[in-house]
């Protein structure tokens, strides 16, 4: 009869995580077993007893995995099953569970073949080197159980007799010391070492009880085992152990049969000779210092690589899981899974002629599908952890977000471990920054077109914040992430850094700050506080750029000093000179009211306090308000006192960042 499905599931998990940790060795070979027919056992329902044993096995494996030992009972007499399982204290968790699972399987389903115990034996005790267990149809849990005495790994003895007697006294002193400690420890486990200088021996001792035993009962059980030492072993014997299912006492000489990292006691340790100790320190110190530095650097590099590989593998699995879930839940949303060969053909083998640009985590290519549809193909660079995070984020969001002012993600492609590709609708006019920051191309954007772009971006943000099924904060809104279609309509792109909020949560704290310098809200940059008002701040900066044709990262002169764009716009507004902020190529047009209204709203959006900034629905209402409407006066904006030293900047500074805050 097989173990129940729960135990098989546990076995599968343990085998995967512990195969490398638990080789088949002599430590897993059975040392001793006892089979008996309990007195007074009148049960005749073998199936009921076997069912109770299987349920008990599940309980024991789960308990031992968590605590190192477990006791339990399942069912009612006469078919009740009682059991106890104990793993050595340094042999815990998954490896303990795996060993016990195998032993329990043999005891319940194959005991006659494995141990010569037929089905009539309903009291089975098994001892392995690193774990032990007992199963019975009678309640033995209140007592110690069957006693087994084992000679140890080394049957040599100390001679002469006087030395043997001193050795035995040392062994008894050692196990008594660690028994007192073990009884008071939560895991009821302690180890120790003592030095028998007379023969140049080190004696290692181990005592343990099951964790459910109270301290006084554990100590009593161990004391009974220790009291049996003189009559159990030969005088001066190098090793031995006395085992019962509930407690264990063992010692060995020069045989570290357990992990010695955390010894409870270390007795009679010899002191080094003072004649050479300082010389040794002087010689060893320099060597250790250099070795430690080299080892530290090697470990740090290796750990970083291993963590990166592990995270990449984990994320790759997560990405596949997301796609599988999408297939089941969103299969009719128009999102497609493309073959890598299709992408190669569409982009002419990812040729340089088809390359549209290079992002932080991969290149973007223009492509054409067989049906004539033009596409933009974003190919993730190999081994890019941040890029893989963005990839996963985008495919998680795309099935949930559909709006005319959001760029449409048509699908994705995954090929092996390294190829991760996102496929977007192609935007013939590319990104907004390539036009508004170019003196020649900027002429093509008259004020009505710029106003249409501002309103379209605000509509897209309003959808993300309020009207979509998920509340989404973009976190990287900037001119290069606004794409323009053939009619200059704006579409917000790149949701790799976006964050999803539940409807009941207004903001959250994060230790990882993502975004682009110049667009990040002050409370997010300094304290990691992220909310929809973070996007409102970025929107305000973007509106100032659209109105002025100037980059937020640039420096602009006012009254003999240089200021960043936000501060420059505020100073002009306060002086009643806001029209000087407007791009020269649209300054002469007769749209002064809407221009002034855009500057006013933008300054409201970039205020220092997030509470002072309007929400996106208010922004839209203010942008569309009539001339008679009164808007609140903006307060001094964020980053007002942050200004560069030197001459005016003319080059772009579109720098994406990812900062980890120390908290």
Print the SS3 string covering 257-314: CCCCCCCCEEECCCCCCHHHHHHHHHHHHHHHHHHHHHHHHHHHHHHHHHHHHHHHHH
Band (623; pLDDT cuts 50, 70, 90): very high
Q: Return d(Cα 216, Cα 222) in angstroms, integer.
A: 10
Burial class (CB within 10 angstroms; exposed 0-12, middle 13-18, buried 19+) of 293: exposed
322 pLDDT exceeds 80?
no
Q: Return d(Cα 139, Cα 75) in angstroms, integer.
A: 12
The conformation of residue 580, written as its DSSP 8-state character, comes to G
Band (659; pLDDT cuts 50, 70, 90): very low
- Co-location of 474 and 583 in the same domain: yes
- Co-location of 375 and 410 in the same domain: yes
Q: How many domains does the chain contain in total?
A: 4
Lowest mean pLDDT among 48-62, 107-121, 280-294, 646-660: 646-660
% of the chain residues with pLDDT over 90: 49
- Co-location of 59 and 110 in the same domain: yes
313 pLDDT exceeds 50?
yes
Band (107; pLDDT cuts 50, 70, 90): confident
The alpha helices in 556-638, defined as continuous H runs, are 565-574, 584-587, 592-605, 616-623
Give per-residue pLDDT as tens, 116-138.
787 778 899 999 989 999 999 99
Q: Is residue 128 part of a domain?
A: yes
The conformation of residue 234, written as its DSSP 8-state character, comes to -
- Kindly report the CATH number assigned to the domain that includes residue 218: 3.30.430.20
Q: Is residue 628 part of a domain?
A: yes
Lowest mean pLDDT among 110-124, 367-381, 529-543, 619-633: 110-124
502 pLDDT exceeds 70?
no
Active site (catalytic) residues: 476
- What are the residues whose beta carbons fall under 8 Å from the beta carbon of 439, sequence distance 6 or more? 549, 585
Q: Return d(Cα 122, Cα 46) in angstroms, integer.
A: 10
Lowest mean pLDDT among 25-34, 38-47, 322-331, 557-566: 322-331
Bridge partners, 460 (sequence order): none
Q: What is the average pLDDT score of the chain?
A: 83
Q: Is residue 399 part of a domain?
A: yes
SS (H, E, C) 423-484: EEECCCCCECHHHHCCCCHHHHCCHHHHHHHHHHHHHHHHHHHHHCCCEEECCCCCHHHEEE
Band (18; pLDDT cuts 50, 70, 90): very low
- Co-location of 588 and 493 in the same domain: yes
Q: Is residue 232 part of a domain?
A: yes
Q: Is residue 299 part of a domain?
A: no
Give per-residue pLDDT as tens, 292-309.
899 989 988 888 888 877
pLDDT at 540: 97
pLDDT at 272: 64
481 pLDDT exceeds 50?
yes
Residue after which a domain boundary falls, among 267, 298, 324: 267
Bridge-based pairing of strands 81-87 and 362-368 is unpaired
- Co-location of 249 and 320 in the same domain: no
Band (452; pLDDT cuts 50, 70, 90): very high
Q: Taking a C-beta distance cutoff of 8 angstroms, is the pair 590, 579 a contact?
A: no
DSSP E strands: which ranges in 524-571? 529-531, 556-558, 561-563
181 pLDDT exceeds 70?
yes
- Co-location of 417 and 361 in the same domain: yes
356 pLDDT exceeds 70?
yes
pLDDT at 116: 75
pLDDT at 545: 97
- Kindly report the CATH number assigned to the domain that includes residue 573: 1.10.510.10
Q: Taking a C-beta distance cutoff of 8 angstroms, is the pair 497, 476 a contact?
A: yes
- Co-location of 217 and 318 in the same domain: no
Would you mind telling me the total number of residues written for the chain in this entry?
663
Residue 192 belongs to domain spanning: 150-267
Bridge partners, 564 (sequence order): none
- Co-location of 380 and 500 in the same domain: no
Q: Which two tokens stand for residue 29?
A: 């070979």
Residue 336's H or E segment, with its range, is strand 336-337
Rounded to 5 degrees, φ, ψ at 496 are -65, -25
| Cα torsion 380, 386, 389, 395: sign | negative
Q: Is residue 414 part of a domain?
A: yes
Q: Return d(Cα 155, Cα 150) in angstroms, integer.
A: 10
Average pLDDT over residues 362-378: 91
Residue after which a domain boundary falls, among 385, 401, 425: 425
Q: Is residue 286 part of a domain?
A: no
- Co-location of 489 and 553 in the same domain: yes
- Co-location of 328 and 471 in the same domain: no
Overall pTM > 0.85: no
- Co-location of 512 and 656 in the same domain: yes
Q: Is residue 561 part of a domain?
A: yes
Q: Return d(Cα 49, Cα 55) in angstroms, integer.
A: 10
Residue after which a domain boundary falls, among 211, 243, 267: 267
Q: How far is CA 262 from CA 86, 118, 191, 203, in A?
A: 20, 42, 8, 16
- Kindly report the CATH number assigned to the domain that includes residue 327: 3.30.200.20
- Co-location of 513 and 581 in the same domain: yes
Q: Return d(Cα 347, Cα 227) in angstroms, integer.
A: 82
Lowest mean pLDDT among 125-139, 565-579, 637-651: 637-651
């Amino acid at each position: 009869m097989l173990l129940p499905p729960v135990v098989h599931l546990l076995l599968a998990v343990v085998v995967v995580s512990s195969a490398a940790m638990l080789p088949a060795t002599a430590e897993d070979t059975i040392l001793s077993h006892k089979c008996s027919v309990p007195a007074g056992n009148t049960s005749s329902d073998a199936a009921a007893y076997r069912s109770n044993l299987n349920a008990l096995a599940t309980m024991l494996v789960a308990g031992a995995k968590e605590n190192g030992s477990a006791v339990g009972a399942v069912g009612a007499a006469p078919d009740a099953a009682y059991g106890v399982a104990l793993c050595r204290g340094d042999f815990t968790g998954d490896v303990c569970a795996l060993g016990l699972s195998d032993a329990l399987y043999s005891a319940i389903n194959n005991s006659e073949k494995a141990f010569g115990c037929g089905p009539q034996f309903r009291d089975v005790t098994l001892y392995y080197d690193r774990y032990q267990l007992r199963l019975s149809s009678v309640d033995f849990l209140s007592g110690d159980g069957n006693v087994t005495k084992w000679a140890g790994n080394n049957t040599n003895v100390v001679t002469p007799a006087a030395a043997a007697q001193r050795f035995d006294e040392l062994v008894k002193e050692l196990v008594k010391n660690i028994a007192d400690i073990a009884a008071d420890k939560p895991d009821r486990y302690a180890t120790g070492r003592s030095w028998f200088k007379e023969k140049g021996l080190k004696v290692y001792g181990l005592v343990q009880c099951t964790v459910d035993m109270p301290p006084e009962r554990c100590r009593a059980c161990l004391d009974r085992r220790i009291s049996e030492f003189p009559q159990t072993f030969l005088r001066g014997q190098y090793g031995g152990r006395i085992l019962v299912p509930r407690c264990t006492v063992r010692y060995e000489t020069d045989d570290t049969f357990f992990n010695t990292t955390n010894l409870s006691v270390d007795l009679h340790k010899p002191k080094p000779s003072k004649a050479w100790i300082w010389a040794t320190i002087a010689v060893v110190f320099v060597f250790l210092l250099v070795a430690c530095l080299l080892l530290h650097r090697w470990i740090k590099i290796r750990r970083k690589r291993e963590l990166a590989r592990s995270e990449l593998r984990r994320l790759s699995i997560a990405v596949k899981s997301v796609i599988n879930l999408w297939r089941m839940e969103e299969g009719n949303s128009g999102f497609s899974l493309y073959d890598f060969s299709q992408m190669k053909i569409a982009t002419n083998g990812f040729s340089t002629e088809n390359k549209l640009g290079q992002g932080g985590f991969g290149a973007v290519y223009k492509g054409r599908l067989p049906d004539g549809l033009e596409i933009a193909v974003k190919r993730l660079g190999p081994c890019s952890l941040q890029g893989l995070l963005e990839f996963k984020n985008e495919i998680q969001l795309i099935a949930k977000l559909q709006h005319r002012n959001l760029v449409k993600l048509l699908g994705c492609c995954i090929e092996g471990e390294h190829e991760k590709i996102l496929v977007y609708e192609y935007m013939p006019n590319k990104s907004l920054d390539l036009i508004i920051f170019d003196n020649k191309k900027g002429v093509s954007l008259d004020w009505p077109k710029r106003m249409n772009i501002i309103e379209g971006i605000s509509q897209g943000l309003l959808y993300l914040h309020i009207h979509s099924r998920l509340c989404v904060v973009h976190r990287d809104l900037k001119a290069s992430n606004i794409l323009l279609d053939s009619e200059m309509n704006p579409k917000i792109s790149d949701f790799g850094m976006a964050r999803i909020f539940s409807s009941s949560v207004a903001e959250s704290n994060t230790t990882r700050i993502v975004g682009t310098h110049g667009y990040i809200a002050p409370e997010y940059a300094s304290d990691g506080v992220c909310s929809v008002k973070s996007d409102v701040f970025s929107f305000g900066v973007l509106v100032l750029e659209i109105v002025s044709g100037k980059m937020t990262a640039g420096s602009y002169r006012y009254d003999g000093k240089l200021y960043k764009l936000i501060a420059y716009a505020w100073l002009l507004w306060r002086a009643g000179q806001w029209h000087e902020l407007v791009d020269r190529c649209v300054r002469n047009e007769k749209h002064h009211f809407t221009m002034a209204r855009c500057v006013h709203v933008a300054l409201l959006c970039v205020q220092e306090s997030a509470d002072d900034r309007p929400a996106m629905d208010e922004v839209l209402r203010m942008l569309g308000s009539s001339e008679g409407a009164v808007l609140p006066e903006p307060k001094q904006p964020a980053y007002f006192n942050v200004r560069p030293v030197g001459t005016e900047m003319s080059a772009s500074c579109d720098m994406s960042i990812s900062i980890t805050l120390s908290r």
